[in-house]
Structure 1
Amino acid sequence: MRSGVGSRVVAALLAAVCCGACTWTDEPPPTSTEPAQHLSASQFRDAAVDLIEQREAALREDDRDAFLATIDDDELQFVATQSRWFDNLSAMPVSDLRIEPLDRATPDADEDELHIPVDFTMRLDGFEERSVTQRLLYTFRQVDGEVGLVNDRNSERDRRTGWLPDPWDVGDVEVRESGSILAFFDEDTAPYADAVMKDLKSSQETVLAAVPGWSGQLVAYDISDFAGLEKRTPMKLWETGGVAYPVPVRPGSDEVAAVRFIVNPDVVHNSLQREFLLPHELTHVALGSRDDASPRWLTEGAAEYVSRSEYSVEQQRRMAGFAMTYLGVTAPVLVNGSDFYANPNTNYEVAAAACTYLAVTRGEDVLWDLMDAFTAEADQMPMSAAQIDAILEREIALDSLTLARESVAWAAAVG
């Protein structure tokens, strides 16, 4: 027995076949639509520049759909990474957003791709005094007269220029703000964010009390991608707790827009090490370029001194004495340059002892005055050991060897 539904389906099919068989027309079959016109070279260029302007407007207006509309839909991976990048920027306190094309050269008439270098500018509003500009290379493609962006970087060019990505360039970030502190975490480091932010605040107060003239503004990265840290540290990764580094206003410029710092999660998530690591790195942030001309033992030793400055003078002295005994330091030397990091444990502690000795016996301003004295002689860079000693003898009446010996003897004399 056939169901009523099946009967109706068969009847409908028979009617469709019969109607189709009886239909007749003298009109020719419809022709296929004509392909879209290929854009001329100048039209292609103008369309690409229009898309750049649309991207800038979309970023300024926080319009995600308009921003993604500038991208070629067929580039699925690029769409995904650009979506993530837009979402990251939307969560950040950014201002002065600009995308400026640098080259409007017309492509060859038969080319379907166009490369335009652009300057992308932004400022972390409230945390940096100046904007940062980075160079991007936009690649546009036209298909059937439609133009879309298919890439914003070039790997070969990035390797040649030494470009290092920021956290918001490589993954989803969690943004934390507290007063003048801005920090970036990712999925793996976010569980530690509350503890890190609390200690960043405490460390900020320590450094504000020790380093004159600092605004307190800071930008910190605590992310699980080690690429940025590994390429910035002069030491082995496992020896590195963090790195503070200057950010130029644009590639190749000597002008610094900000000093940011990136931490090693394996170290900073240890609460005992975090107590000393964070104020050390914030000291580098606070000093900015003030210590650029100083010998390495002074820059690192001063940061170590500040990291321990919450302790009493007696406790600081005991720390230095214990370190000298533990490391077996009998012939202390203050090391300058990249050699400082060849034996970091000993060199950091000898430098810390020297700077602590100076700060305790002569007042901590002596450290900043020394840095200013070295800056005044910056035209002699790089300085020889004799030039460094000449400045030391003029400013504190000690050469580096005598300072090292006196500071270690001072630390060892504690009862």
Structure 2
Amino acid sequence: MSRAWLSSLLLVPLLACQAQPPADDGPSPRDLPDSSGAPAGMDESLRDAALDVVEARERALVDGDREAFLATVDPDELGFSATQARWFDNLAQLPVTDVSYELGDEDVMTRVAGDGDLQLPVDFTMRLRGFDRRPVTQRMVWTFVRNGDGALLVEDRNSQIDAQTGWTPAPWDLAHIDVRRSGGILAVFDEDTAEHGSYVMSDLAEATRVVRRHLPQWSGKFVAYGISDVTAIDAMSAMTVEDTAAVAFPVLSRPGGPAAAYRFAVNPTVVGDVLARGRVFRHELVHVALGTTDDRSPQWLVEGTAEYVARSVLPVDDRRRIAAQELFGISGRALEPSRRFYTRDPLVSYALSSLVCDYLASTRGEGVLWDLVRTFQTEQLSTWAESEDVVQRELGLSTDQLSTQALAWARSA
């Protein structure tokens, strides 16, 4: 149940500049013209035709014209054609608006390996109506081949650009999806997880009601992913996939830009877990509801508040007894403020931070938690160690003292 941010990895590109030799019997429609001598991916004589393809694909996507959209794809590329058809069908299920394809920053082409006849940077923009605060732009590199006097698309992704921008695939990029919507909730399943869809939607609605009682300023609108492919979860979680129930994450309006929305992805093992998923949903929805508000908070507070809300449906004495069992033999200690929270005994980290937040809320009032989050939002900390000074100033105790008192409180239930 860790909070995750999309990371940007930089790979060193390999430039492939080998020209395609002419065929003995003259160039075929897919060959580069003999006279061009253009390296792979750099045949500028194909540029106008390629830009026509870009325009045609935007028009087809806006119009919902599946046949026109697929007509821009090389039919000989069977795998790519199939994934493009699936992707178009997936988007047709979503409340997509503000769709556009535009020529991107061509300076990036110096960092991309050549392929096909021509490669061009293309920025794809879309917004999920009612869920994204602003459109989301994704940087791509498209690969074209010559087709008579025109061009066809043979690939729309590039691993080097994806690594530089930190692109993480959405469910509609990975599999056939099944979209469910109820009020302000939009959930995305696949063919394997859809059987649990009705129950999940009910649990999401109940989790939303619980979180809004604690954070009434939140709109209650969100998008949740629950598919079998754990590629995105694996990329975003600080823990192993097996130890990660779900991740909440921002969807950036552009690489390095402001967040357009906060969403969460659930491990498929949780989707079908009747006992666990309500607690997981409540936990992740606290992250979604807070958005950027707790960006500057120490990790124990980020996760502790979310887990406190997740457990809040239980009577307080039950929560105390559960915490005492989970933390049997554990003594008070300073709470982990950094990302080491997820790698240094995360089970204890979660249980202890949850208990401390529950103790504070139960003995001083829940408002003390949200006040502390807001305080950290305006603090300028140069090291995480300085977060202890903020806690001491605001609460009159160190996190070591807080955890010691919280453990005594739990064990006295």
Scaled by the length of structure 2, the TM-score of the pair is 0.85
What is aligned with 1:190?
A: 194
Shift of 1:139: 1.1
What is aligned with 2:336?
A: 335
Deviations 1:65-111 (A, max 9, x none): 11111112222221111010000001111111111112579x9xxx9
**Structure 1: how far apart are the matches of 2:157 and 2:227?**
22
**Structure 2: how far apart are the matches of 1:324 and 1:412?**
10
Shift of 1:397: 1.3
Map 1:252-291; keep pairs closer than 5 Å.
252-253=256-257, 255-291=258-294
Deviations 1:241-280 (A, max 9, x none): 1110111111122x11111111111134211111211100
What is aligned with 2:82?
A: 80
> Residue 104 of structure 1 contacts residue 116 of structure 1 at CA under 8 Å; is this kept in 2?
yes
> Residue 103 of structure 1 contacts residue 116 of structure 1 at CA under 8 Å; is this kept in 2?
no
Map 1:303-318; keep pairs closer than 5 Å.
303-318=306-321
What is aligned with 1:27?
A: none
> Residue 241 of structure 1 contacts residue 268 of structure 1 at CA under 8 Å; is this kept in 2?
no
Structure 1's 112 and 298: CA in aligned 2 closer, same or farther, altered over 3 A? closer
What is aligned with 2:94?
A: 92
What is aligned with 1:45?
A: 47
> Residue 332 of structure 1 contacts residue 350 of structure 1 at CA under 8 Å; is this kept in 2?
no
**Structure 1: how far apart are the matches of 2:271 and 2:148?**
53
Structure 1's 200 and 112: CA in aligned 2 closer, same or farther, altered over 3 A? closer
Structure 1's 311 and 103: CA in aligned 2 closer, same or farther, altered over 3 A? closer
**Structure 2: how far apart are the matches of 1:317 and 1:210?**
19
What is aligned with 1:148?
A: 152
Structure 1 stretches of 5 or more lacking a match? 1-33
**Structure 1: how far apart are the matches of 2:135 and 2:366?**
33
> Residue 208 of structure 2 contacts residue 282 of structure 2 at CA under 8 Å; is this kept in 1?
yes
Structure 2 stretches of 5 or more lacking a match? 1-26, 37-42, 110-114
**Structure 2: how far apart are the matches of 1:381 and 1:53?**
48
- Please state whether the residue corresponding to 2:319 is helix, strand or coil: helix
**Structure 2: how far apart are the matches of 1:340 and 1:303?**
14
Shift of 1:239: 1.3
What is aligned with 1:15?
A: none
**Structure 2: how far apart are the matches of 1:212 and 1:381?**
32
**Structure 2: how far apart are the matches of 1:42 and 1:272?**
59
> Residue 203 of structure 1 contacts residue 278 of structure 1 at CA under 8 Å; is this kept in 2?
yes
Shift of 1:324: 2.4
Shift of 1:195: 1.3
Shift of 1:161: 4.0
Q: After superposing the two structures, state which structure 1 stretch, 338-347 or 298-307, moved more.
A: 338-347
Residue number among 357, 360, 368 corresponding to 1:358 in the alignment = 360
> Residue 104 of structure 2 contacts residue 139 of structure 2 at CA under 8 Å; is this kept in 1?
no
Shift of 1:42: 6.0
Scaled by the length of structure 1, the TM-score of the pair is 0.84
Shift of 1:230: 1.1
> Residue 112 of structure 1 contacts residue 143 of structure 1 at CA under 8 Å; is this kept in 2?
no
- Please state whether the residue corresponding to 2:264 is helix, strand or coil: strand
Structure 1's 365 and 169: CA in aligned 2 closer, same or farther, altered over 3 A? same
What is aligned with 1:12?
A: none
Q: Does 1:199 align with 2:203?
A: yes
Deviations 1:306-327 (A, max 9, x none): 00112222222222233223xx
Shift of 1:199: 0.5
Residues paired across the two proteins, number: 371
**Structure 2: how far apart are the matches of 1:50 and 1:219?**
34
Larger Rg: 1
Return the letter of the residue paired with 1:148: L
Residue number among 158, 164, 183 corresponding to 2:168 in the alignment = 164
Structure 1's 35 and 411: CA in aligned 2 closer, same or farther, altered over 3 A? closer
**Structure 2: how far apart are the matches of 1:258 and 1:403?**
34
For CA contacts below 8 A with separation 6 or more, give which structure has more relative contact order. Answer: 2
Q: Does 1:123 align with 2:127?
A: yes
Shift of 1:336: 1.8
- Please state whether the residue corresponding to 1:92 is helix, strand or coil: coil
Shift of 1:296: 0.7
Structure 1's 149 and 198: CA in aligned 2 closer, same or farther, altered over 3 A? same
Q: Does 1:59 align with 2:58?
A: no
What is aligned with 2:12?
A: none
> Residue 304 of structure 2 contacts residue 354 of structure 2 at CA under 8 Å; is this kept in 1?
yes
Structure 1's 57 and 323: CA in aligned 2 closer, same or farther, altered over 3 A? same
**Structure 1: how far apart are the matches of 2:362 and 2:201?**
30
**Structure 2: how far apart are the matches of 1:193 and 1:382?**
44
Structure 1's 413 and 147: CA in aligned 2 closer, same or farther, altered over 3 A? same
Structure 1's 177 and 35: CA in aligned 2 closer, same or farther, altered over 3 A? closer
Residue number among 239, 246, 249 corresponding to 2:243 in the alignment = 239
**Structure 2: how far apart are the matches of 1:35 and 1:134?**
34
Return the letter of the residue paired with 2:180: R
Return the letter of the residue paired with 1:116: L
Shift of 1:362: 1.4
What is aligned with 1:411?
A: 410
Superposition RMSD on alpha carbons, in Å? 2.2
Which structure has more helix as a fraction of its residues? 1
Q: Does 1:210 align with 2:214?
A: yes
**Structure 2: how far apart are the matches of 1:267 and 1:345?**
17
Q: After superposing the two structures, state which structure 1 stretch, 261-270 or 310-319, moved more.
A: 310-319
What is aligned with 1:319?
A: 322
> Residue 337 of structure 2 contacts residue 384 of structure 2 at CA under 8 Å; is this kept in 1?
no
What is aligned with 2:20?
A: none
